[in-house]
Copies of this chain bind each other. A is one copy, B any other.
Amino acid sequence: MIGEYITSNTEIVESALTQSLPPAWQIPLPLRESMNYSLMAGGKRLRPILVLAAAESLGGTKEAALPVACAIEMVHTYSLIHDDLPAMDNDDYRRGKLTNHKVYGEAMAILAGDALLTHAFYSISQAHKVHGIPAERVLAITEELSAYAGARGMVGGQAADMLGEQGITKLEELEYIHSHKTSDLIVFSLRAGAHIAGASHAQLQALSQFGHAIGLAFQIQDDILDIIGDEAKLGKPVKSDEKQQKVTYPYFIGMEASEKKVRELTSQGKEALLQANLVHPERLLQLADYLMKRDH
């Protein structure tokens, strides 16, 4: 049931993404190909689906939320392109495909990432221009993206991750990285969808709590899967984090306690969500369960 919801929304998102880049005649062709290669390289499309589900949970429409859904996927994609660069994680493969810089070269990969990040803000502005969402709300989404994806958010988490690679000794440090590298964009996705539908301050707060909890659960589940998963399912070598001597959640508290933590966080998140008086909380609740139980 939630599986069907995810499948149909994935199709809607991917179809919108193929239309989301500027037309080919306006851009040097290799730059556009490099942007498109990573944007259309698959992935769970989790963040855009959360945008749509959050908008619908408040009675908003998918259509009006789609420009923001595309924007968050552009931001997520740019962060992966830059993370994979030789100077960062130096990965040759992602989701079983060559990474951007292995195909287009480092310089083009840097520029494709820059262009995707910049274009995300353009995409958001179309929620006002094309779909008539009030400028106040769309500007709030812009402001929140720049906070959650920037130095105080995702980029800050990435910097902390990089700085701590050899020396993370406390669980709190790992949680700081997880919460900024992963939860911040999930919180943003939920809040952005809610803004599209005109959420109240209290509803935004509840969605933030829900997002922070399921974001951390998602990342711990990722740590767990990275250890027990098999290569075919993940599309990357198992224990790649261990090989690079990265510290994961199970490293600190063990597998069993990590699995328990995922369940606890999910249930805390769902409780917070139920305080929000949403007209349709069902899909968000089901998505939280789905993320907890996923095996890939």
Majority SS at the chain A contact face: helix
Segment touching B, from A54-62, A141-149, A260-268: A141-149
Copies of this chain, complex-wide, total: 2
User: A276 to chain B: closest CB distance in Å?
Assistant: 25
Report the separation of the CA atoms of residues A150 and B78 in the bound assembly, to the nearest whole angstrom. Answer: 13
B115–A87 touching, CB < 8 Å: no
Chain B residues lying within 8 Å of A147, measured Cβ to Cβ, are 122
Residue in chain B with minimal CB distance to A138:
B139
Point out the residue from B105, B108, B151 that lies within 8 Å of A32, measured CB to CB: B151
A238-265: which residues lie under 8 A (CB-CB) from chain B? none
Contact A151–B117 (Cβ < 8 Å): no
CA distance A181 to B84 in the complex (A): 26
* Chain B positions within 8 Å of A22 at CB level: 150-152
**Which B residues lie within 8 Å of A76 (CB)?**
none
Q: Give the interface size class of chain A.
A: 35 or more
Contact with B along A81-124 (1 / 0, CB 8 A): 01001011000000000000000011110110111011111101
Q: Which of A136-182 contact B (CB under 8 A)?
A: 136, 138-139, 142-143, 145-147, 149-152, 155-156, 158-160, 162-163
Q: Would you give the shortest CB distance from A107 to chain B, in whole angstroms? A: 5
Question: When the two chains form their complex, are residues B152 and A26 in contact, meaning their CB atoms are under 8 A apart?
Answer: yes
Write out the residue numbers on chain B whose beta carbons fall within 8 Å of the beta carbon of A108: 159, 162
State which of B30, B114, B142, B146 has its C-beta within 8 Å of the C-beta of A155: B114
7 more A-B residue pairs beyond the given contacts A125-B139, A135-B139, with a C-beta to C-beta distance below 8 A: A26-B152, A87-B107, A115-B156, A119-B146, A122-B143, A128-B139, A135-B138
